[in-house]
Structure 1
Amino acid sequence: MSPIWSSYYGNCHSLLFVMDASNPTQLSASCTQLLGLLSAEELSKASVLILFNKIDLPCYMTMEEIKSLIRLPDITACAKQNITTAEVSARNGTGLATVLLWLQEQHKCSS
């Protein structure tokens, strides 16, 4: 994660965090970055949507595999933030309507 990202946390109400569902090694590295974000005091009240991308690839991991690998239940139990997850494909658009609805709902809540 870039060291300057924390400069942008100040007025953040929602956080979209994208993880590569087709690469277990990258998932582990992304989880470390996610934990850093979740521990940032400035983001303690932000709603979080974790997007598991690349579900269109034949090698993508299932949600159960991902949850087990990154210990998602433990993360959500310990986080101050409300965390939601979604499976998406940026390539073919699968799940993107869900993301837009989530963003719209978060905008209503923060207005």
Structure 2
Amino acid sequence: MAHQEGPLKKIPQYVLPSVAPLVMVAGFCYLQTRPVDPTVATDIEAWPIAQALWSFGFVAILLHVSPSWDRRPRPLGRWNGLVEDVAAKRPPRLFPYPRRRGRRRAAG
């Protein structure tokens, strides 16, 4: 919601990439300072605070570098017709417009 409503755009461009890794490091340090059994690998999901800090920093970075989706990128554009057909519950077609049969007109 913060990304859609715009408060992230009000933050200067240099602040978020500088602070988000520090939040991730704080989550990692919290995880490393917790008492664990040395024979078992440390799992971040076992410590909710560490997971929350790490995830918050990671998502903040992703939202900062996320591309604009005003229009689809070129590689995804060719799948537009197929996606629309599936969403409308029509049989999917590779070519959205039928070919015209017959001769072409001469340009003139």
Normalised by the size of structure 2, how large is the TM-score? Answer: 0.25
Between structures 1 and 2, the one with greater strand share: 1
Which has the larger share of helix? Answer: 2
Pair member with larger Rg = 2
Higher RCO by CA contacts (8 Å cutoff, separation 6 or greater): 1
